[in-house]
Structure 1
Amino acid sequence: MTDSLYAKTSNRPGLRANNESWAIGLCKQIPLYGIVSMIVIAGESKFMFERLLPHMRVNTIYDIDLQALKKRGIRGIITDLDNTLVGAKEPLATPELVRWLDDVRDSGFKVVIVSNNNRTRVSKFAEPLNLTYIHAARKPANKAFRKALSLLELPAEQTVVIGDQMMTDVLGGNRMGLQTILVNPVSPGDEGVMTRVNRRLEKIALARLRKKGLWPKEDSK
């Protein structure tokens, strides 16, 4: 587990707000999601690269210390679906995931799924679990994160975002002042075309982060 990668740099001023807002706005018009974030990153904005740094990294959701989150004041969880909770082609929750969600609820956390996938996919997964969800979220745009916070009835500082993509989950959560946890994708081979493109862009971003000393060089992600 790697903690506080983004926390070391998140308080620095001077973000290129105009370019970033334009890029995120483009997500709302066409389904590029995290891809357009690279338009800003390509402008060599150091601060934009830092927005891609999660507060914590773990292998899977099952490696998250729920009690440690509670001690840090976290009361709500915004989680991605595909390749975060289950593989992208897995239609329903696994028994292991059901047990984990029971632990999450028993620990007092509120949970909402925020996914860029369509209503059919997200509803069929979430409804049997009695989970609130937001589909077609267009992450990293702010709108879905704001809606999720409203559904949770919690402020950003009491909420964590869990996801497998830096370009959508981490970037979107960090922009909103949320804690962010990056997990490894459950089943990389099941990823769609747009996600695979995002992964290539992610590698470009990681190379830049390593060059700036913001990401471990020995890390294989």
Structure 2
Amino acid sequence: MLLIALFALLSAQVTVTSNQQGTYNGVKYELWVSGGGSGCSCTIKGNGCAFSAQWNNCGDYLCRAGNGGSTLTYAYTKSGSGGGYSFIGVYGWTTSPLVEFYIVDDWFSGGGNSGGSQKGSFTVDGANYNIWQHTQNNQPSIQGTATFEQFFSIRSSQRTSGTISVSQHFDKWNSLGMKMGSIYEAKALVEAGGGNGSIDYSSCSI
């Protein structure tokens, strides 16, 4: 009986290896990869937004999971590299206006740099976050190729577990004139711009 229960637990997940979005065990997920590479996969565990992800020179690689909400609570381990840029935290989009947003708590070596212009900073959840805005011209989006703004809150010190008060970042952005539209998604994310690495969430809720 123990072996049967263990097999059922290990089987309670779904792995995707190409661009795909869906819902598993009530949790929405998406894998998006811009390049070739190998070992580009995302495994949704079926336990909240917990997932594991692997990439090997996959171009721009994004694995994300969650159902939105005002708070992300998480814990994970990571290894390897994330290429020229990388972001770990909360990711999403709004519509009307179209905005891509990031709340970044961690990154691989060389990552965590958004570019664009700094709009301000504030302290929340025990650390300072620097706020940036960047314009993407004719780039892929949830509405096809488009020009849109990117909003970033980037934590001054990295961590691999904790709580992100998502709604407080939204409020701060709006107070700085960084206007958001209707929330389309807000998910736990790992993004890597190359490299060979992995991440494994032991717990995740958003």
TM-score (norm 1): 0.30
Greater RCO structure (CA 8 Å; 6+ sep)? 2
TM-score relative to the length of structure 2: 0.32
- Please identify which structure carries the higher helix content: 1
